[in-house]
């Protein structure tokens, strides 16, 4: 599925709350720009039996007090076992997910610090990490650039 079709699917499936479809449309250029830097249009995300994405906590070897929580995005289902023994757990499954949907989920994934995209099947050496904080900054900048200043009504006084 191409990126434009993925965006349209996101908009079509967004809650009809008067906000979310407009938010998706507003940040669509950002989602597409990031997705175009990646090698794949869809990735496997490891999920538990309830459908929640599996988080992996990484600790800094030199400073064990520093840690971050990541979600891995795998190019093939076989790659899940390269990183996570959870991939062998029968209560876990890899679900294929369009890349723009993964990026959009990063907006709402509170405990996640980054999504790490494995780019080369069979290897863990070529990755693309998208930090949530960086993504949010870019998203707010995108939204701010699209907001047109409201004209002051002539009868304001």
pLDDT digits (tens, 9 = 90+) for 82-127: 876 655 677 888 899 999 999 999 988 888 999 999 999 999 889 9
Q: What 3 state SS string does 56-125 have?
A: EEEECCCCCCCEEEEEEEECCHHHHHHHCHHHHCCCCEEEEEEHHHHHHHCCCCCCCCEEEEECCCCCCC
pLDDT value for 83: 79
pLDDT at 35 exceeding the cut of 90: yes
Distance CA 66, CA 48 (A): 26
Distance CA 75, CA 135 (A): 21
pLDDT at 152 exceeding the cut of 60: no
Percent of the chain with pLDDT over 70: 90
Distance CA 129, CA 113 (A): 10
Its pTM surpasses 0.85: yes
On average, the pLDDT of the chain sits at 88
Neighbours of 108 (CB within 10 A): 7
pLDDT value for 108: 83
């Amino acid at each position: 599925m191409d990126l434009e079709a993925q965006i349209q699917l996101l908009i079509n499936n967004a809650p009809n709350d008067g906000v979310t479809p407009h938010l998706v449309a507003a940040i669509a250029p950002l989602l597409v720009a990031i997705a175009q830097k990646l090698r794949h249009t869809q990735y496997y995300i490891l999920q538990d039996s309830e459908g929640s994405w599996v988080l992996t906590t990484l600790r800094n070897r030199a400073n064990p007090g520093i840690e971050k929580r990541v979600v891995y995005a795998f190019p093939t289902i076989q790659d899940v076992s390269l990183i996570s023994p959870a991939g062998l757990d029968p209560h876990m499954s890899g679900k294929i997910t369009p890349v723009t949907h993964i990026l959009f989920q990063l907006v709402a994934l509170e405990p996640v610090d980054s999504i790490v995209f494995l780019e080369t099947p069979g290897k863990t050496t070529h990755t693309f990490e998208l930090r949530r904080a960086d993504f949010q900054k870019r998203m707010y900048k995108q939204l701010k650039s699209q907001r047109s200043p409201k004209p002051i009504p002539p009868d304001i006084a």
